[in-house]
């Protein structure tokens, strides 16, 4: 029974003899089998629009490492792309929007979220469920409303997101209007993923670190809480556990956590032991090895992995993960060292 998987047990704060392990970007560029498929596509987005390929990519790290959960292979920017903002991935540059949100008038021109435009994502969920082991949970996900807004106002990735910060400073109400639109779209998107078979949901607030504590509340957390509330109030999604990943927020994570969440996923810059003591078993905790340790010797990887596992051994509801996505320069053999250390 999938409900008895150690990953879902951990999300219910039940004890496991060994913590479950999965990690962010586990299907990705560090795997030679991924690279082999990727070379067949000129554009990353084209690959994301092939449901059977997405399913195959999601399965690769499961087959190689026997991980305890799979995550949908997709991209967080599918939602703004559905609003016809002209998303494209340029080699070596990352995502770019040719039609970004530059003025408040751009927001009022937006058509409503057309859920069927992302049918390729839902089909990817269905195809992935078909080929995963029947007892292995599948995680669905979206970017937080703030992260999606930041990318689509900026026009892509950026070191400082100066355009986005200028926009929210000069047009605070328009920014909030846009965030409401993103919140509703995220809800519909995640609900459809659940209808297609995902067993848990993760919200990635990848640009939480851009905002000071007041702005983090005003432009990010309010909308993430609204999204989680919508999910908990809907009959389709009410029983699906929600995981929140805040990237290095300028606010104590124990002040960010709220009751609709099942799990807090921690950035590597935070002390999981300190957070565990503050949250007092209210939530499952996930994390949070610094991915850069996977570039070190086997002994360092083992020591740092065991440090986290030892700190959390008496904590009901712990999922081992990286504190950010795995990077392309990491060798799969080093990942195996980490996994073996978790399961030792």
What residue spans define the domains of the chain? 2-343
Contact (CB, 8 A) for 131 and 55: yes
Task: Quote the tokens at residue 14.
Answer: 């039940």
pLDDT, averaged in runs of 10, over the chain (344 residues): 96 95 97 97 94 98 98 97 92 87 96 95 98 97 98 93 97 98 98 98 96 96 98 98 95 91 97 93 96 98 98 94 97 98 97
For this structure, is 38 an active site residue?
yes
Query: Residue 122: what pLDDT?
Result: 98
Residue partners of 222: CB distance under 8 A and separation at least 6: none
Indicate which residue of 122, 151, 178, 189 is catalytic: 151
| Cα 34 to Cα 44: distance, rounded to the nearest angstrom | 12
Query: Residue 293: what pLDDT?
Result: 98
CB atoms within 10 A of CB 91: 8
Which DSSP string do the residues of 231-292 spell out, in sequence order? HHHSTTTTTS-EEEEE-S-SS-HHHH--TT-SEEEPPTTS-HHHHHHHHTTSSEEEEEE-GG
Query: Residue 328: what pLDDT?
Result: 96
Task: Quote the tokens at residue 70.
Answer: 């799979």
| Cα 133 to Cα 137: distance, rounded to the nearest angstrom | 9
Query: Residue 35: what pLDDT?
Result: 97
| Structure letter (DSSP) for residue 164 | H
Indicate which residue of 38, 64, 282, 343 is catalytic: 38
Strands 263-265 and 138-143 turn out to be unpaired
Query: Residue 94: what pLDDT?
Result: 84
Does the pTM exceed 0.95? Answer: yes
Indicate which residue of 25, 64, 282, 343 is catalytic: 25
Indicate which residue of 64, 75, 106, 343 is catalytic: 75
Q: Which residue has the tokens 């995550």?
A: 71
Query: Residue 1: what pLDDT?
Result: 86
Indicate which residue of 29, 64, 282, 343 is catalytic: 29
For this structure, is 151 an active site residue?
yes
Q: Compute the radius of gyration of the chain from its Cα atoms.
A: 19
Please give the CATH architecture assigned to the domain spanning 2-343: Alpha-Beta Barrel (3.20)
| Cα 72 to Cα 75: distance, rounded to the nearest angstrom | 9
């Amino acid at each position: 029974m999938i409900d008895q998987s150690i990953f879902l047990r951990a999300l219910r704060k039940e004890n496991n003899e060994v913590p479950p392990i999965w990690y962010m970007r586990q299907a990705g560029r560090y795997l030679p089998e991924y690279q082999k498929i990727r070379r067949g596509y000129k554009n990353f987005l084209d690959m994301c629009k092939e449901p059977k390929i997405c399913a195959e990519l999601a399965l690769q790290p499961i087959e190689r490492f026997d991980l305890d959960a799979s995550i949908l292979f997709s991209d967080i920017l599918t939602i703004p792309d559905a609003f016809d903002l002209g998303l494209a991935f340029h080699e070596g540059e990352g995502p770019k929007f040719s039609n970004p949100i530059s003025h408040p008038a751009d927001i009022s021109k937006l058509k409503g979220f057309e859920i069927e435009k992302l049918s390729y994502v839902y089909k990817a969920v269905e195809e992935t469920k078909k080929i995963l082991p029947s007892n292995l949970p599948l995680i669905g996900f979206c970017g937080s409303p703030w992260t999606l807004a930041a990318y689509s106002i900026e026009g892509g990735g950026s070191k400082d997101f100066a355009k986005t910060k200028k926009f929210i400073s000069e047009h605070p109400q328009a920014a909030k209007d846009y965030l409401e639109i993103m919140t509703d779209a995220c809800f519909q998107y995640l609900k459809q993923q659940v209808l297609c078979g995902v067993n848990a949901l993760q919200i990635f607030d990848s640009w939480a670190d851009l905002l000071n504590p007041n702005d983090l509340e005003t432009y990010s957390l309010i909308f993430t809480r609204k999204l989680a509330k919508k999910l908990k109030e809907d009959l389709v999604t009410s029983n699906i556990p929600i995981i929140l990943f805040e990237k290095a927020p300028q606010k104590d994570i124990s002040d960010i956590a709220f009751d609709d969440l099942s799990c807090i996923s921690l950035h590597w810059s935070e002390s999981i032991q300190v957070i565990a003591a503050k949250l007092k078993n209210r939530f499952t905790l996930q994390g949070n090895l610094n991915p850069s340790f996977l570039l070190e010797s086997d002994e360092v990887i083992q020591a740092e992995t065991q440090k986290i596992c030892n700190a959390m051994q008496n904590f009901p509801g712990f999922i081992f993960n990286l504190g950010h996505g795995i990077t392309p320069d990491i060798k799969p053999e080093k990942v195996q060292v980490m996994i073996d250390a978790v399961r030792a």
